[in-house]
Every structure is written in structure tokens, then in C-alpha cells.
Amino acid sequence: MTHPGKQRTVLLAVREGHVDPRLLTSALSLCSRLEADLEIQVISGSKKPPAEMEDFLHSLREAGLPFSLEVKPSLRRRDLVDYANAHEHIAAVVIDSREGWEALAQDRSSDPWKHLACPLVTAASHDKKQA
């Protein structure tokens, strides 16, 4: 099911070990509100998504919701920002939290999120934000 008119996509970036049901639900809810497809980029040590995502991916397939999935060994904040800014159809980027990405970035002094041309949605549960 592709939405009519101009294609819009919500980019969901998931880090292995940071898969929170609220993150997945927020991305789906945003897709529904924006009438957008879902693009998922997963950072995982293996070539497949983390086991915590199996039910979520299964429910997407069962519901026939349009999505794409790419598993990567690493993904920096800057990579996500550059990718989203280079693709007009990206309507929003959904991540678990702004914290924790710094360890994956080469340049810790800058904040690539400030250069993101679309909205950034953080969707970690409240107690995880405190950690």
C-alpha cells in the first residue's frame, strides 16, 4: 500500500540494544498521521535485525504496511542527517534518544542533529532517557 500523491517517508533509525516498543509505536503512529511509508535503518552486529524487532517486523508484514529495512554494522548521527537531507521524501527521522549517538560519531564537538532539514522525533521511554 503506497500512499497517493507525493511520496513521504518516515526514517526510523534503530540501534541494537535500544529497541523500545514505544520507539516502534511512535514511528508507526507518525507514518499514519503523515500518510508516509516507513524506512528502517538498523545498526546491528549481525546481518539481520535484533531479535527484539521480530514481532514488530512481523506485524508490519501482516498488516501489509509499506516499509523497507536495511541493516548496517554502524551508523553515525552525521550519516543519518546527511541521508535524510539528501532525500526530499524523508518527512521525519525517529530515533530512541539523542543521547548515546555521540559514541558512534567521530566529531563529538558538533551536533549534526541541528542540521537536519526535517523534524527529529525522539521516542525513548521516560526512564530510559534518565539512564
For 82, counting Cβ atoms within 10 Å of its Cβ (0-12 exposed, 13-18 middle, 19+ buried), the class is middle
Is 106 part of any domain?
A: yes
Is 2 part of any domain?
A: no
What are the per-10-residue average pLDDT scores of the chain (131 residues)?
67 91 90 93 90 90 90 90 95 90 58 91 64 38
Is 48 part of any domain?
A: yes
Q: What are φ and ψ of residue 114, in 5° steps? A: -65, -20
pLDDT of residue 71: 95
Sequence-ordered strand ranges (E) for 30-83: 37-43, 67-72
Is 7 part of any domain?
A: no
pLDDT of residue 130: 40
Structurally, the chain folds into a number of domains equal to 1
pLDDT of residue 123: 86
Is 78 part of any domain?
A: yes
pLDDT of residue 131: 38
Is 124 part of any domain?
A: yes
pLDDT of residue 125: 62
Is 123 part of any domain?
A: yes
Is 105 part of any domain?
A: yes
Question: By residue range, what is the domain housing residue 109?
Answer: 15-130
CATH no. for residue 46?
3.40.50
| pTM for this entry | 0.84
